[in-house]
Structures are given as C-alpha cells and as structure tokens.
C-alpha cells in the first residue's frame, strides 16, 4: 500500500454555532455565537480522510505539549492516522483558529498562530527513513509563511522528490496567515513547480493569473511537471487538466450548512 505523508499545520478549529437565548426572561430572544473545538488544519484533514478510507496515512508536523495538542494527537489516531511523525513541544502552544459562519454557511477565519508549535517543525525533523518505499507527500501553502517553516517545507519536498515520491500541493492560500505586506506569489509558484498534483480553488487560480491569462498559467503548471491540476469552485463543476486531457465533474447539489474543510475533502 502506498504511504501518504501529509505535512503542515494541525490546529484546533473553534467552530461557531448560533444559539437563540431568552436572556431577560421576558421572551425576548437574542442570538449568541458559541464555539466548539474540533481537530483542523488542511493537511490534517487530508490525512484523516485517507485514514478513514483505509489508506496508509501519516501526519508530519508539530503541536504543543498541552491539552489541545493531546486532543489533536488522539483525534488523528481515532481516524486511523499514524502519529509517529507528529511531534510535541513545550516551546510553544498549539495553534487555534476561530471559524465564524454567515447565514449561508460560508466561513471566515481568525487565527491564533504566531508563535505556535506548528511553526517550530524544523528541516532536521524530517528523517530519511520516513521516505523509504513508495509514497506521496502532501502539503499546503500555510507552511510557507515564515522563513523557518518554509525551510522545513522545502526539506520535506527535497526528501520526497529524491526518494521518487509523488508530490501533492493544495495551495489553500490564507492571506491573513502571512506577515503584513508579504507577497505569497513567488513562494507559492516555487511549490507549484515542484508538484505532481496541484489543487486550486477558482480564487487561487485567479491569484496565480496576476501577470497573464488562465490558459497560460495552466500551461505553465503542466510544463513545470504537474501530471494533474484540479480546480474546485464551490458547487460549480470541478475542472481537471492533464497534458493530454481536460474535463469537468459536477458535484452533487447540497444545502450547505458549513463549508469548513470542503476543499480539503
């Protein structure tokens, strides 16, 4: 069975729900937003999905040696994800993300991340034996936001490619995770050019089209070595591109309650 290492952020999503309260005892209802903890992080969601589907799933990253870190380790293990490559540290706390929903179920994020444990995973934390046999290395752009974790990400990429592994890149761009004034464009493109599978949302594809048109960007990604490009667009058809074939798949119609992790799925 092919081994899959998903690398990057593992954090606690504090998910919003709205509850009607009779606060004054006079039948006057008001709405209160409450938050409940769930395991989260885009690459961790992928690891969980692979594990639940019976795949050989590993997660590589770092969480705090705290109650939230323990919760995340236990959550991954409950989803059949091997946590041998998941490290815990007392040098920083586990990252948190508060996710608030609008009336249509569309979410907005507020991150409590820097400094946080996931950013402390270093290049030397990757071990050569992790990349023995066949495998896939999956990651996102949230490990490109600061120099240390960027260096670690490149070390993982280098190890995977040297071992002949496939590389899967979900752009998953979160502008509010980048330092103020920082431009993700060059860092993201550098990773796109090293990936065999590139997954983008329609908005992320538009971001890559800053200097040229969509057709040219897709051609550039394929020419750089990608075997497959996937483009999601909410409830609209998912598009796919290879060097020899293009097409689309219509997702089923659903009433959306919460879009969190839909793209990861």
Positions in the chain whose pLDDT score sits under 50: none
264 domain residue, yes or no: no
Beta partners for residue 198, in sequence order: 169, 229
CATH assignment of the domain containing 192:
3.40.1190.20
CB atoms inside a 10 Å sphere around CB 45? 24
Q: Phi/psi of residue 141, each to 5°?
A: -85, -5
Confirm whether pTM is higher than 0.75. yes
What is the per-residue pLDDT across 14-61, written as a single tens digit (0 to 9) for each? 887 766 665 555 555 567 778 889 999 999 999 999 999 999 999 999
197 domain residue, yes or no: yes
Give the pLDDT confidence score for residue 263 in this predicted structure.
Answer: 73
> How many domains does the chain fold into?
1
Nearest to 98, CA basis, from 85, 83, 109:
109
Whole-angstrom Cα distance, residue 43 to residue 39? Answer: 11
258 domain residue, yes or no: no
97 domain residue, yes or no: yes
Residue 142 is part of which domain span?
Answer: 3-20+30-249
Whole-angstrom Cα distance, residue 138 to residue 159? Answer: 12
Q: Alpha carbon 170 to chain centroid distance?
A: 7
Give the pLDDT confidence score for residue 139 in this predicted structure.
Answer: 98
260 domain residue, yes or no: no
């Amino acid at each position: 069975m092919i081994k899959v290492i998903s690398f990057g952020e593992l954090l606690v999503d504090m998910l919003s729900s709205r509850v009607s309260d009779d606060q004054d005892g006079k039948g006057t209802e008001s709405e209160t937003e409450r938050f409940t903890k769930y395991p989260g992080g885009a690459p961790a969601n992928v690891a969980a999905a692979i594990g639940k589907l019976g795949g050989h799933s590993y997660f590589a990253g770092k969480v705090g040696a705290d109650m939230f870190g323990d919760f995340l380790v236990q959550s991954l293990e409950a989803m059949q994800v091997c946590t041998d490559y998941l490290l815990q540290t007392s040098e920083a706390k586990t990252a948190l993300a508060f996710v608030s929903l609008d009336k249509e179920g569309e979410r907005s994020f507020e991150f409590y991340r820097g400094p946080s444990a996931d950013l402390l995973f270093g290049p030397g934390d990757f071990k050569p034996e992790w990349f023995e046999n066949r495998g896939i290395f999956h990651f996102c752009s949230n490990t490109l936001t600061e120099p240390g974790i960027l260096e670690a990400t490149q070390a993982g990429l280098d190890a995977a490619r040297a071992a002949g592994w496939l590389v899967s890149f979900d752009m998953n761009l979160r502008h509010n995770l980048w330092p103020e004034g920082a431009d993700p464009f060059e860092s993201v493109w550098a990773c796109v050019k090293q990936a065999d599978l590139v997954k983008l949302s329609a908005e992320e594809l538009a971001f890559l089209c800053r200097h040229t048109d969509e057709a040219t960007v897709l051609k550039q990604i394929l020419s750089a070595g990608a075997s497959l490009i996937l483009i999601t667009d909410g409830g609209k058809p998912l598009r796919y591109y290879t060097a020899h074939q293009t097409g689309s798949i219509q997702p089923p119609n659903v009433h959306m309650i919460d879009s969190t992790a839909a793209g990861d799925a």
